[in-house]
Amino acid sequence: MRDLNEENITDAVLERISHAPNRRIRKISEALVRHLHGFIREVEPTEAEWAAGIAFLTATGHRCSAARQEFILLSDTLGVSMLIDAINHRLPGAATETTVFGPFYVDAPEFAAGSDISGYSAGSPMYVSGTVRAVNGAPIGGATVDIWHSDRDGFYDLQRAQERPGTAGRGRFRTDAHGAFHLWTVRPSAYPIANDGPVGKMLAAQGRHPFRPEHIHFMIQASGYRKLVTHLFASGDPYLDSDVVFGVKTSLIRRYEEHLRGPAPGGRTMEGVWFSLEHDFVLAVEAAP
């Protein structure tokens, strides 16, 4: 295996990795080499461009920390995360559609039904409620509903962890015997993904804005059902057709209902404008292993 050139080097690399003991690692490695070499052959990078690529990947890695995952941002903004999501969720039509997990989930405490999870976040009060059901319509009691969202300025609590300890806009609930859950929080907003790093530079170079439409994240789990990771997007948002991470599905766009001051769920009396969001989630049955 000497004298490798443009014509024979790909086969030489494939031969070298053909002895990988694990069949899945072998398959992934072989596909990686073929597609990566195909990319290089198509664009014929100069040595300076190759060095710029190395520098981009290095800077992306250096930007990753406990509070930020720049490679997930890269995957999200190149449409890879949504492609992975689609491949892994070929669900029956009646099940709630999935979308990207995103980089902002962390384990959160469980709250009693009706609790307010807004924590230190300021913003317009918002009542979120719904049910969790099976495809046949049967309510699923005891399901866990994780919810997380940005504040009205577009920041998650994780992004404010250095200035403000504790959770805000994040919590776990459990559905009752009717499959229902409800809680109070504050309304989030559309926001730009963190764009002061390499991915932000890439978006600018590609002539793209960095915004996601306003949304709330949900992760719903129940024994015997497939885990559901999704969002509910706010209808009317100007970024619904240009989400920087390609995550919007029509079935996930919901009206964030506006209400004037007056009585509200849970015996509250509101002094000003507040919002409500309601949705019935449908879980697919766990596939047999």
Please identify, using beta-carbon distances, which residue of 68 and 268 lies nearer to its own copies: 68
Query: Measured between alpha carbons, how far is 179 from 162 in angstroms, rounded to an integer?
Result: 37
Binding span for its own copies by CB under 8 A among 136-144, 153-161, 173-181, 201-209 = 201-209
- Indicate the helix (H) or strand (E) that contains 278: strand 274-283
Phi and psi at residue 160, to the nearest 5°? -115, 10
Token digits for 108? 């959160």
User: 30 and 46 in contact (C-beta within 8 Å)?
Assistant: no
With CB under 8 A as the contact rule, the residue among 46, 136, 162, 269 that binds its own copies is 46
Query: Least distance (Å) from its own copies to the CB of residue 89?
Result: 9
Q: Is 208 helix (H, G, I), strand (E, B) or coil?
A: coil
With CB under 8 A as the contact rule, the residue among 134, 199, 240, 282 that binds its own copies is 240
With CB under 8 A as the contact rule, the residue among 95, 138, 150, 208 that binds its own copies is 208
x/- site string to its own copies, residues 156 to 185, per CB under 8 A? ------------------------------
- DSSP string covering 124-156, please? -EEEEEEEEEETTS-B-TT-EEEEE---TTS--
Binding of its own copies at residue 96 (CB under 8 A)? Answer: no
Q: Is 8 helix (H, G, I), strand (E, B) or coil?
A: coil
Query: Least distance (Å) from its own copies to the CB of residue 189?
Result: 20
Binding of its own copies at residue 289 (CB under 8 A)? Answer: no
Residue type, 85: D
Binding of its own copies at residue 269 (CB under 8 A)? Answer: no
With CB under 8 A as the contact rule, the residue among 23, 42, 162, 271 that binds its own copies is 42
